Chains A and B, each alone.
Chain A
Amino acid sequence: MRRGGLAVLLLPGLVLLLAGFLVPALIMLLAPPDTTIGEVLDRLVQMLADPYDLTIIGRTLGLGLIVTVTCVVLGFPIAYLLARSQSRWAGVMLAVAIFPLLLSNVVRTFGWLVVLGSQGAVGQALVALGIVDEAPQLLYTPLAIVLGLVQLFLPLAVVSSYSALAQVDASLDEAARGLGAGRARTFWTIVVPLSWPGVVVAATLVFAGSITAYTTPYLLGGSRQRMLSTQLFQYSSSTIDWAAASATAMIMTVLVFGVAALSSMIGRRARTS
């Protein structure tokens, strides 16, 4: 069999991709039920001028950014210490950090209800210590969403940073140290630049994940702190406003593709410079 013949193997997968994904997605974005592309676009323009909708877009992007920065700032040190550690516990600690990726988001997010809820650990502790008289409202705040999303995406940041750091030869650190550079200088001039592409990948995955996550903003933000995802679900399940749902879906899709494109541009520049 000539190797070109292997192209046949693509067919079943292509059929699934077209029928189960590309075609339905295009129809939904461009011609959802009971409405026209014109109405969807009108709604899109309306959203981009409406203060309420802009607040939701802004909140989604803003919280996504905070979550991304936090995940990189917390995840990189974890990956760095684990990648450079000689301890046999390093493997176990890496497993503990990555393990949550296998665990349901519902379970992970539910923990914050136990911690932040009005009868929860933090509120009760503050009351017991006499700092406040009544447990403060911690749920349904931007802080709750950020905490939940950081917990959700930190393992992803650790994995991406770790695989980048593992490729940076530890003897380069030693060489820099041997030539007289201090720890901080070695870190910023050797370790960070060489693992930078991995950090860009980590940040992209976290940001794209944060601005599209549903479970966490739904449980921890509720209807008081709407994000694009919870708003999209609202439009498509309660109000059944297909034009608004499609317009929101468009905004989400464009944002995610924008982030992916931006990150591949940054990644390319890092490689050529």
Chain B
Amino acid sequence: MNTRRPVAASLAVLGYIVMIAPLMFVVITAFTAGSTVRFPPDGLSLRWFDAAVTYEPFMSALASSLQLAVFAAVASLALGVPVALAIHRGKIPGKGLLEGLFLSPLIVPELVVGLALYQQFMIGLGLNNLTTLAIGHTVLMFPYAVRVTGASLALIDPAVEDAARGLGASPLRTFFTVTLPLLRPGLFSAALLAFVTSFNNVPLSLLLQSRDFRTLPVTMLDYVQQNYDPIVASTSVLILAGTVLVAVVAERAVGFAKIFGGINR
């Protein structure tokens, strides 16, 4: 850090401590040999990692969460990319308004969206919670697909597409051979954001849980409320490790300052 700016540097250090320190404590706790979450830990062991990977409720919830996140990422892209194309390439009146409409699920509090889906789909229409979760997560991830692919579409010069069409390519062929390859980093960013956001989601999934299909974060949240043992710490460390892996891949593929830059605009 720059020592010639002492105030800024001190605030920045404090910021990093608040962001990172609690995670360090989770990591240390996960390696405890004792049976409670306490600090300093009682000796070192890997027993809680063993406990985590053999704890059936967490592992089946992990499988559910992964399934749901993959579905939400694919479905939101399948629906979101055409919308981004229409908004950025079509001659449609009221584009700004339309884009605002498609981004609106990001503004309404997630818990409110979850409650609405719970009342209308699970209670009202009697749909099962898997279907409702799939719809809900797709709705929530959809704006990322529209916004992020839209942002990268805006960077592609339409003249390239016009040239392809001028040379006799059909619109479909132009899309698949010209637009889509140029769009790849944007699609990767959108899919990653959707996947991660869906995997980590709590507020929307909270009301839509059932015994048959529960997501990992919600299961962990319930567990913490009733038991306070290091299995949550070790599970957290495993999630942390997985997330670091995702981050490294994302950094190599697109650079993730760029990925998150896209959602704020």
Contacts and interface: CB of A to CB of B under 8 A. Distances in A.
Interface string A1-43: 1111111111011001100111111011100110000000000
Contacts of B184: none
Contacts, number: 280
A176 interface: no
A27 B207 CA distance: 17
A107 B2 CA distance: 31
B139 A218 contact: no
B177 interface: no
A10 to B, nearest CB: 5
B220 A106 contact: yes
B90 interface: yes
Contact of A107 (B18, B79, B107, B239): B239
A220 B138 CA distance: 29
Contact of A110 (B1, B15, B98, B224): B224
B119 A16 contact: no
Nearest to B76: A16
Given A6-B92, A95-B247, A229-B111, A20 B135 contact: yes
Contact of B16 (A97, A104, A229): A97
Interface string B107-126: 11111110111111101100
Interface string A87-110: 000000011111111111111101
B38 A124 contact: yes
Contacts of B199: 104
B243 A110 contact: no
Contact of A20 (B91, B110, B138): B138
Contact of A96 (B20, B135, B217): B20
Contacts of B155: none
A138 interface: no
8 contacts: A7-B92, A10-B98, A33-B119, A77-B9, A85-B2, A102-B256, A183-B5, A214-B206
B121 to A, nearest CB: 7
Nearest to B4: A183
B115 A28 contact: yes
Contacts of B110: 212, 214
B79 A13 contact: yes
A33 B123 contact: yes
Given A27-B120, A114-B25, A16 B142 contact: yes
Give chain B's interface secondary structure class: helix
A16 B79 contact: yes
B139 A17 contact: yes
Interface in B86-111: 86-87, 89-92, 98, 101-102, 104-105, 107-111
A260 B100 CA distance: 12
A103 B119 contact: no
Interface string B64-85: 0000000000000001101101
> Which 9 pairs across A and B sit closest by C-beta, in order of nearness?
A111-B22, A6-B90, A74-B15, A9-B82, A119-B38, A212-B109, A77-B8, A13-B83, A28-B116
Contacts of A21: 104-105, 108, 113, 116, 139
B236 to A, nearest CB: 4
Contacts of B146: 13
Nearest to B118: A236
A110 to B, nearest CB: 6
Given A9-B83, A95-B257, A111-B23, A17 B142 contact: yes
Contacts of B105: 17, 21
A98 B242 CA distance: 16
Given A10-B82, A102-B246, A242-B119, 13 more contacts: A6-B85, A74-B12, A74-B14, A81-B5, A84-B2, A95-B257, A105-B200, A106-B202, A108-B22, A115-B22, A205-B264, A208-B107, A233-B206
B203 A9 contact: no
Interface in B12-63: 12, 14-16, 18-23, 25-26, 29, 36-40
A88 to B, nearest CB: 14
Contacts of B91: 2-4, 6
Contacts of A10: 82-83, 86-87, 92, 98
Contacts of A1: 171
Given A20-B117, A154-B19, A253 B109 contact: yes
Contacts of B102: 13, 17
Contacts of A101: 260
A95 B39 CA distance: 29
A41 to B, nearest CB: 17
A172 interface: no
Interface string B228-265: 10001100100110011011001100001100110010
